[in-house]
């Protein structure tokens, strides 16, 4: 039985999305910037896609700018804010558990002379609002937080953070909502976000497509120069088939929001309860309740190696992800699990299961059964030491 | 002027009665390496191999490829002219004119070899006459003068006078030397994915040995990427040895059995012995004469002299260890030269750390190891490992 449980890495593209994209690639190859009719048709399709993505986030179409993915959206938001606001101050704040798409921009800005603050997290990877409040000052020009942690699934308190940021500073507030879209309402105005990054391939859309939400009036100087497409925020000929695919995927995700989340929740609950009941000696790294998204479950199987479990499950056509690579050097360790304070053994045995609405009850039963076998066989080998 | 390649072969020239055999194999190897070139021809004449092809634009590329053939010591791109004093002088002057357009040459020297002793002018006199002609014709631009410097010339021009034709050249591609592939039997190399074993295989191939490879992994305790890495290393080796057969054997069942029944500190040495035994069994099937390993005295716990002795005694056939006395830095340098280093240092491991003992035995005793092996169904384990073996024919990469 084929069981795909690595949906936080990427999802299977929805066949409806594929069909739409194929049709556009074959029939609407025009450049939206062209003045002739083919250009106009392309522009219409872009407009529709922009509306679909905007609606799925509760934003206006004029606030959505297509990018090549979540990483580029984060890059434009962070570097663009820092450049536009550097005269106001040089302090930038983020958390220790962000995705490299955020962290690496912060490191680059540190090189340029910005003072970066990396907020601590608790054992579930959640930031402390008091620490954020203490760090915020008049000198702060940017705060970037993730809505949902990609490894643990924990929800970050972005709404409260937004209120604090707007009260205490003049900073731009950027949210990396790549793991949130489709699993939580992403509503930039209620969380007082100026910028929000999202990605298509995490919601059954195409790879290589993302978007940046930017509130009207946000000060930003894009680091991408070129022909001025996307109102100068992201130059480069539009990826029309990809953006249209993203539009449809976002519309479907919004329309089926409840049904999909319910399905994920059930799969997650079944596996979580099963692991707790049938496989002893585990540490549930994710929150077990509503403080974790329905799509992620991170568990450490003590006395095992996550990477070996991964390969054993792969032999049974079950695909998961690990928190750390099996290596005698510590190259492969997850910075998230480390920041959350997991021990070496807990990190080594960590597996991330990430669900989609396509996962069924039978798949979870099969996964639990295979998982149990794999863990037991591995423990027999390792426990001897 | 027509260009040919002059290929010199160092060590083969020293061979006595067997020289024609080595020369014939060398020519075959060169032929197969340039078979994609239009009208490629390879012939031997007076102790040198000549290569010609109707591809004037690709001479450099062809010279570099021929220089990779084992047995070749140097390759030069030469202009071929009639063996006539006037023709040679004129051609040499033209050759130098072209060359001075491509790079700055302010001083030169001519060196002549006259294998055709019937030629009426002696070697030093040929050099003098050619030099004089070059000086006379090349000094029309006062801003770019040319003079002779016999000690440190910018350009050393060679004239090789043979019976019908003479050759003018200046540059040499240095080959690896060694002996033509296939003149020294077949070896089965234990290829791990690390830095050493590909170098060991390359060194034996350079001595004329045909290579097949055997790789041991512990999937799913190791990643498929570790195997991909070994395939890539084999592909790089193939750039020197042609197509290579890679046999992949899963050692997991054996490692689990050892883990279950034997003292932990013997894990490494026992695994090594199983690998050797499996390799020996495969050698009989594929008719390999020797095993080749990248073992190196004292490098890791299993490569102490005691470790090597106990490993060695697991098989009855000779084990070649060409790196045994080398230092790690020298091995790494060689790996870089042959192009395997970057691939070797990728972080995927072929042996899972789960099975690595914290304190492996550095001074194993054969009696104790044999005792431990008695607790295992050796024959069954070896047979099952060989039954499950997967063989991949890896096409060469350049």
Q: Do B354 and A382 make contact, defined as CB atoms within 8 angstroms?
A: yes
Cβ count near A46 (within 10 Å): 20
Q: Do A328 and B220 make contact, defined as CB atoms within 8 angstroms?
A: no
Cα within 13 Å of Cα(A279), Cβ side: 27
Q: Do A311 and B223 make contact, defined as CB atoms within 8 angstroms?
A: yes
Which chain A residue lies closest to B348 (C-alpha atoms)? Answer: A327
Helix (H, G, I), strand (E, B) or coil at A20: helix
Nearest Cα of chain A lies from the Cα of B235 at a distance, in angstroms, of 25
A326 has a chain B CB within 8 A of its CB = yes
Task: Look at residue B338 and tell me whether its pLDDT is greater than 80.
Answer: yes
> Which ranges in A88-180 belong to alpha helices (H)?
100-111, 129-135, 158-168
**Domain segments of chain A: what residues?**
15-255, 257-382
Nearest Cα of chain A lies from the Cα of B223 at a distance, in angstroms, of 7
Q: Do B356 and A328 make contact, defined as CB atoms within 8 angstroms?
A: yes
Q: Do A314 and B220 make contact, defined as CB atoms within 8 angstroms?
A: yes
Q: Do domains A15-255 and A257-382 have the same CATH topology?
A: no
Task: Look at residue A328 and tell me whether its pLDDT is greater than 50.
Answer: no
Task: Look at residue B287 and tell me whether its pLDDT is greater than 80.
Answer: yes
- CATH of span A15-255: 3.40.640.10
Average pLDDT over residues A373-381: 91
* Per-residue confidence (pLDDT) for residue B351, from 0 to 100: 64
Average pLDDT over residues A302-323: 92
Which chain A residue lies closest to B224 (C-alpha atoms)? Answer: A311
Q: Report chain B residues whose CB lies below 8 A from the CB of A311.
A: 219-224
* Per-residue confidence (pLDDT) for residue A329, from 0 to 100: 44
- Number of Cβ pairs closer than 8 Å across A and B? 41
- pLDDT above 90 as % of chain A: 92
Q: Report chain B residues whose CB lies below 8 A from the CB of A327.
A: 347, 349, 353
- CATH of span B1-82+162-183: 3.30.70.1510
Q: Do B354 and A312 make contact, defined as CB atoms within 8 angstroms?
A: no
Length of chain A measured in residues: 385
Q: How confident is the model at residue B14 (pLDDT cuts 50, 70, 90)?
A: confident
| Nearest alpha carbon to residue A6 among A282, A352, A364 | A352
B380 has a chain A CB within 8 A of its CB = no
B301-336 pLDDT, tens per residue?
778 999 999 999 999 999 999 999 999 999 999 999
Which chain A residue lies closest to B261 (C-alpha atoms)? Answer: A384
CATH class, domain A257-382, is: alpha beta
* Per-residue confidence (pLDDT) for residue B347, from 0 to 100: 77
When the pLDDT of each residue in chain A is averaged and rounded to a whole number, the result is 94
ipTM for the assembly: 0.75
Q: Do B349 and A328 make contact, defined as CB atoms within 8 angstroms?
A: yes
A307 has a chain B CB within 8 A of its CB = yes
Task: Look at residue B116 and tell me whether its pLDDT is greater than 80.
Answer: yes
Is A22 among the catalytic positions? no
Chain centroid to CA B182: 13
Q: Report chain A residues whose CB lies below 8 A from the CB of B226.
A: none
Nearest Cα of chain B lies from the Cα of A312 at a distance, in angstroms, of 5
B132 has a chain A CB within 8 A of its CB = no
Chain A residues 99-158 with CB within 8 Å of chain B: none
* CATH architecture for segment(s) B84-161: 2-Layer Sandwich (3.30)
Q: Do B221 and A327 make contact, defined as CB atoms within 8 angstroms?
A: no
Nearest Cα of chain A lies from the Cα of B279 at a distance, in angstroms, of 26
A169 dihedral zone (left: phi>0; alpha: psi -120 to 50; beta) = beta
When the pLDDT of each residue in chain B is averaged and rounded to a whole number, the result is 92
Lowest mean pLDDT among A115-119, A299-303, B18-22, B105-109: B18-22
Average pLDDT over residues A294-302: 97
B261 has a chain A CB within 8 A of its CB = no
Task: Look at residue A323 and tell me whether its pLDDT is greater than 70.
Answer: no
Write down the pTM of the prediction.
Answer: 0.83
Q: How confident is the model at residue A383 (pLDDT cuts 50, 70, 90)?
A: low
**Domain segments of chain B: what residues?**
1-82+162-183, 84-161, 186-394
Nearest Cα of chain B lies from the Cα of A101 at a distance, in angstroms, of 23
Task: Look at residue A97 and tell me whether its pLDDT is greater than 50.
Answer: yes
* CATH architecture for segment(s) B186-394: 3-Layer(aba) Sandwich (3.40)
Q: Report chain B residues whose CB lies below 8 A from the CB of A332.
A: 347
Nearest Cα of chain A lies from the Cα of B331 at a distance, in angstroms, of 22
Mutate to test the interface with B, among A311, A316, A377 (most CBs of B within 10 A): A311
* Per-residue confidence (pLDDT) for residue A384, from 0 to 100: 55
Q: Are the CB atoms for A344 and B260 separated by under 8 Å?
A: no
**H or E, element range at A58:** none
Query: Which of B220, B256, B358 comes nearest A311 by C-beta?
Result: B220
Q: How confident is the model at residue B361 (pLDDT cuts 50, 70, 90)?
A: confident
Q: Do B224 and A312 make contact, defined as CB atoms within 8 angstroms?
A: no
* Per-residue confidence (pLDDT) for residue A324, from 0 to 100: 55
Helix (H, G, I), strand (E, B) or coil at A252: helix
Which tokens is A7 given? Answer: 């949906």
């Amino acid at each position: 039985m084929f069981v795909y449980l690595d949906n936080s890495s990427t999802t299977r593209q929805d066949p409806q999305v594929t069909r739409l994209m194929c049709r556009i690639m074959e029939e609407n190859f025009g450049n939206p910037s062209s003045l002739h009719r083919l250009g106009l048709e392309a522009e219409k399709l872009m407009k529709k896609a922009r509306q679909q993505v905007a609606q799925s986030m509760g934003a206006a179409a004029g606030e959505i700018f297509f990018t090549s993915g979540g990483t580029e959206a984060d890059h434009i938001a962070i570097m663009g804010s820092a450049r536009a606001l550097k005269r106001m101050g040089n302090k930038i704040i983020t958390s220790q558990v962000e995705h490299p798409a955020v962290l690496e921009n912060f490191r680059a800005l540190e090189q340029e002379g910005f003072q970066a603050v990396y907020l601590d997290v608790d054992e579930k990877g959640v930031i402390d609002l008091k620490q954020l409040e203490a760090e915020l000052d008049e000198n702060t020009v940017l705060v970037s937080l993730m809505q949902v942690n990609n490894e643990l699934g924990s929800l970050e308190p972005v709404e409260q953070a937004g209120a604090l940021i707007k009260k205490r500073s003049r900073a731009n507030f950027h949210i990396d909502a790549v793991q949130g879209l489709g699993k939580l309402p992403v509503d930039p105005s209620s969380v007082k976000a100026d910028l929000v990054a999202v990605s298509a391939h995490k919601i059954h859309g195409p790879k290589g497509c993302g978007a940046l939400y930017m509130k009207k009036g946000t000060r930003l100087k894009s680091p991408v120069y070129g022909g001025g497409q996307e109102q100068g925020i992201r130059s480069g000929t539009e990826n029309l088939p990809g953006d249209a695919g993203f539009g449809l995927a976002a519309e479907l995700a919004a329309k089926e929001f409840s049904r999909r989340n319910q399905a994920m929740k059930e799969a997650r609950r079944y596996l979580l309860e099963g692991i707790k009941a049938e496989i002893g000696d585990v540490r549930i790294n994710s929150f077990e309740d509503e403080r974790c998204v329905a799509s992620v479950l991170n568990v450490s199987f003590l006395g095992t190696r996550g990477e070996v479990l991964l390969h054993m499950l792969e032999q049974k056509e079950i695909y998961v992800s690990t928190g750390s690579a099996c290596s005698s050097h510590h190259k492969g360790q997850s910075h998230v699990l480390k920041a959350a304070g997991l021990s070496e053994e807990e990190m080594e045995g960590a597996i991330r299961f990430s669900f989609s609405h396509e996962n069924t009850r039978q798949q979870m039963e099969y996964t639990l059964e295979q998982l149990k076998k794999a863990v037991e066989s591995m423990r027999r080998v390792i426990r001897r030491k | 002027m027509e260009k040919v390649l002059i290929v010199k072969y160092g060590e083969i020239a020293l061979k006595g009665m067997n020289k024609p055999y080595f020369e014939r194999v060398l020519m075959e190897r060169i032929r197969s390496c340039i078979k994609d070139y239009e009208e490629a021809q390879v012939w031997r004449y007076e102790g040198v191999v000549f290569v010609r092809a109707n591809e004037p634009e690709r001479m450099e590329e062809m010279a570099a490829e021929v220089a990779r053939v084992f047995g070749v010591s140097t390759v030069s791109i030469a202009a071929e002219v009639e063996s006539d004093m006037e023709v040679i002088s004129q051609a040499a002057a033209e050759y130098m004119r072209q060359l001075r357009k491509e790079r700055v040459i302010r001083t030169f020297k001519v060196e002549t070899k006259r294998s055709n002793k019937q030629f009426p002018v002696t070697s030093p006199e040929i050099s003098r006459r050619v030099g004089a002609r070059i000086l006379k014709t090349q000094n029309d631009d006062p801003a770019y003068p040319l003079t002779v410097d016999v000690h440190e010339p910018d350009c050393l021009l060679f004239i090789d006078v043979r019976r019908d034709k003479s050759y003018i050249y200046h540059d040499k591609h240095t080959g690896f030397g060694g002996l033509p592939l296939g003149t020294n039997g077949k070896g089965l190399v234990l290829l791990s994915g690390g830095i050493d074993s590909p170098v060991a295989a390359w060194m034996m191939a350079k001595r004329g040995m045909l290579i097949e490879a055997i790789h041991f992994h512990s999937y799913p305790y190791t990643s498929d990427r570790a195997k991909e890495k070994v395939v890539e290393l084999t592909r790089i080796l193939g750039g020197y040895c042609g197509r290579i057969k890679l046999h992949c054997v899963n050692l997991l069942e054996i490692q689990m059995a050892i883990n279950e029944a034997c003292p932990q500190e013997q894990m490494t040495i026992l695994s090594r012995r199983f690998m050797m035994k499996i390799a020996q069994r495969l050698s009989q099937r594929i008719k390999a004469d020797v095993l080749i390993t990248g073992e190196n005295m004292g490098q890791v716990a299993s490569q102490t002299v005691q470790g090597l002795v106990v490993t060695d005694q697991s098989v009855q056939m000779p084990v070649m260890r060409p790196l045994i006395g080398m230092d790690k830095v020298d091995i790494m340098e060689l790996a870089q030269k042959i192009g395997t280093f970057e691939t070797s240092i990728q972080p995927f491991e072929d042996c899972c750390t789960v099975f690595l003992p914290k304190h492996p035995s550095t001074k194993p005793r054969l009696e104790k190891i044999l005792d431990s092996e008695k607790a295992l169904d050796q024959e069954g384990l070896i047979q099952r490992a060989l039954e499950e073996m997967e063989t991949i024919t890896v096409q060469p990469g350049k």
